Amino acid sequence: MASAAARPGRVNEDFTGAVPTAAVLVDGAGIPGAEPTCRHGVAWYAHTLGGNLLALLSLTPRSSLPALLADAITRVTDVHRHTCDVTNPISPSAAVAIVRVSGGVLDHLVLGDAVVALDRPGGPPIVTTDLREPTIGRTYEAKLAATTPGSDDYNRILGELRAHRNQPGGFWVAKDDPRAADEAVTAHHPITELSAAALLSNGAGRIVHPFGLADWPQTLAALASKGPSAVIDRVRQAEARHRTRPDDATIAYCTDLGDP
């Protein structure tokens, strides 16, 4: 595993962790200036959700991944619903990726713009993400590009974008409503067909898009040969070269997928 905050001295709003049969990645999201809606903040939400997911994956291994995610969302929401405006459209949220091995099968779940990439020695990798958020986000790109980041207008436009969260016809993320877990993208594959699994936050996935430094087979090969930190280093170099605002970047790379 490797995880790097967008900039030195900034709190990392990503989380990753693992138990013997599963790995979790949570990519927190929030709007600067929205702190009054939640006194805890985005990093707290992402880390608390991730910790609850790991506990539930250990304690209730037979539950489906959407059911586990719904339970974790409920638990975190219950912790701060009495002190924070959890239903506000700009309160903290997160994208989630989970992989779990059991009974010769790997299950995986993606909610939001995180990525699960499964390496297969007998064919191209299986790459899963949820394209609903970037699809809607593209309709706001021109407005955001014409506005100063961090300004009132910029944050207002971001607020309009995030008002599409967890709404029919919009996009779905972990936030305050456990029903969002039912919208996650899920699948399962025989472990015998897989050699490795990678979970990437949106910031780490930039190596493929938008920077095009590698395709997914090349990214998985780099993870196998050089490890997650080297991939994140390449993303940081590209962000500097393209003068792109850096993002938190996190990768969990899992091998030896046979049941423990």
Instruction: Answer yes or no: are the C-beta atoms of 76 and 159 closer than 8 Å.
Output: no
Residue 112 DSSP SS3: coil
Q: Are 25 and 115 in contact (CB under 8 A)?
A: no
Phi-psi region of 212 (alpha: psi -120 to 50; beta: other; left: phi over 0): left
Q: What is the DSSP code (8-state) at residue 246? A: P
H helices within the chain, ranges in order? 42-59, 65-80, 132-137, 141-145, 152-162, 216-226, 228-242
The pLDDT value given to residue 259: 59
What pLDDT is recorded for position 248?
97
Q: Determine the pLDDT at residue 96.
A: 98
What does the DSSP 8-state code read for residue 174? B
Q: Identify the pLDDT of residue 1.
A: 98
Residue 131 pLDDT: 87
Tokens found for residue 164: 């599409």
Of 36, 21, 41, 34, nearest to 101 (Cα)?
A: 21
pLDDT values of the chain reduced to their tens digit, one per residue, 260 residues: 999 999 998 999 999 999 999 999 999 987 666 678 888 999 999 999 999 999 999 999 889 999 999 999 999 999 999 999 898 888 899 999 999 999 999 999 999 999 999 999 989 999 999 988 888 888 888 898 899 887 889 888 887 887 888 988 899 999 999 999 999 999 999 999 999 999 999 999 999 999 999 999 999 999 999 999 999 999 999 999 999 999 999 999 999 998 55
- Indicate the CATH number for domain 2-254: 3.60.40.10
Q: What are phi and psi of 86, to 5 degrees?
A: -65, -25
Query: Which pLDDT belongs to residue 260?
Result: 59
Q: For the chain, what are the domain ranges?
A: 2-254
